[in-house]
Amino acid sequence: MTAAPRIVVHPDKQSLADASAARLVTAIIDAQSVRPEVHLCLTGGSMGSAILASVLTTPGSSAVDWSTVHVWWGDERYLPAGDGERNETQNAEALLDHVPIPAQNVHAVAGPDRSASAEASAEAYAADVRASGAGDFDVMLLGVGPDAHIASLFPHHPAQRTTDAIAIAVHDSPKPPPDRVSLTFEALEHSRRVWFLVAGADKADAVAKALDPSADRWDVPASAVKGEAETLWLLDTDAASRLPGAQDAG
């Protein structure tokens, strides 16, 4: 059972980040009131870090008990620990280095300094997901590329075809760097809430295609993932500008 997409539009990228951060803080606090651990799956890209940076300035964030929060990544660039292009590094600079989240709760994907190959990293990451029982993420954050890719699942890329797996190695990524590790569609969908975070006019076509019920995931990966309880498209006005009726909004 999955939840039909719901669209929320904010005036610009910063208000999108701020409002989504407030939504995330509330979701964490709600989850903490009913579960001993909260599992968040973070995303790379500019919106992935923008929402985290806004969490720091969200008034309610002081109510989050970070000791019970676990963070994962929907995808990671296969680069050594500390590399500025790693999603983990960018998300740490935005938030994780500034909150008391235990190191063992940060489930990073191994880079070439800690694994022999992206394939080995994918296997180890999948084992970590299984061991933590996380299979069910409380909130899955996903940025969306102009080509409607999510995580490191790209249109017409053979990595899409891998099933019966939690994480996969991705090579020849059209978005640099070329080598990555990504959760599969199935793993991404093991989420109570799936939130797409999308800003900018360059994403408007991808958003419109992803929300078209006739979309095929081979062409439009972002159309293929929905949450078990909630699927939100959190957009700024520019990213929503090609949706039906958007032009009438004036």
Ligand X SMILES: O=C(O)[C@H](O)[C@@H](O)[C@H](O)[C@H](O)COP(=O)(O)O
Residue ranges binding ligand X (CB under 6 A): 43-48, 75, 77, 87, 143-145, 149-151, 175
Nearer to ligand X, 76 or 138 (CB): 76
CA dist 197 and 204 (Å) reads 12
- Shortest separation between residue 246's beta carbon and ligand X, angstroms: 19
Nearer to ligand X, 7 or 29 (CB): 7
- Shortest separation between residue 147's beta carbon and ligand X, angstroms: 9
- Shortest separation between residue 74's beta carbon and ligand X, angstroms: 6
- Shortest separation between residue 156's beta carbon and ligand X, angstroms: 16
Q: How does DSSP classify residue 107?
A: -
- Angle (nearest 5°) at CA 234 between 77 and 106: 40
Nearer to ligand X, 64 or 199 (CB): 199
State the residue for tokens 């061991």: 131
Nearer to ligand X, 48 or 155 (CB): 48
- Shortest separation between residue 90's beta carbon and ligand X, angstroms: 9
Write b or e for each residue in 83-117: b if 16 or more Cβ atoms lie within 10 A of its Cβ, otherwise e. beebbbbbbbebbbeeeebeeebbbbbbbbeebee
Nearer to ligand X, 38 or 151 (CB): 151
Nearer to ligand X, 39 or 203 (CB): 203
Measured CA to CA in angstroms, residue 132 lies from 10, 26, 163 at distances of: 35, 23, 21
- Shortest separation between residue 77's beta carbon and ligand X, angstroms: 6
